């Protein structure tokens, strides 16, 4: 399992590959591979989505993905 933290100034649901998987600013666990991250509706954040390869992470050093408010 890989570990990812999706950063955003507010608490929002996190969608990974179109399915809700936890909330922003929490460590999330997912499988290794290419994944698409977004924060759902409304699309009041940027970028609209992030596609990234997730590999070689740990709970101590999760991959950080950041969205910003528009």
- Mean pLDDT, consecutive 10-residue stretches, the chain (70 aa), reads 97 98 97 98 97 96 97
Q: Which two tokens stand for residue 9?
A: 């100034």
- Quote the pLDDT of residue 4: 98
Query: Is cis: bond before 47, omega within 30 of 0?
Result: yes
- Quote the pLDDT of residue 3: 98
- Quote the pLDDT of residue 11: 98
Domain membership of residue 48 as a residue range: 2-69
Number of independent structural domains in the chain: 1
This prediction has a pTM of 0.95
DSSP 8-class letter at 20:
E
DSSP 22-66: EETTSEEEE-SEEEEEE--SS--EESS-EEEEE-S--SSSPEEEE
Residue 43: which CATH number? 2.60.40
- Quote the pLDDT of residue 61: 94
């Amino acid at each position: 399992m890989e570990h990812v933290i999706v950063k955003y100034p507010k608490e929002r649901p996190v969608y990974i590959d179109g399915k809700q998987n936890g909330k922003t600013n929490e460590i999330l666990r997912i499988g290794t591979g290419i994944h698409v991250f977004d924060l759902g509706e409304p699309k009041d954040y940027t970028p609209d989505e992030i596609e990234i390869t997730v590999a070689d992470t740990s709970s101590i050093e999760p991959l950080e993905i950041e969205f910003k408010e528009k």
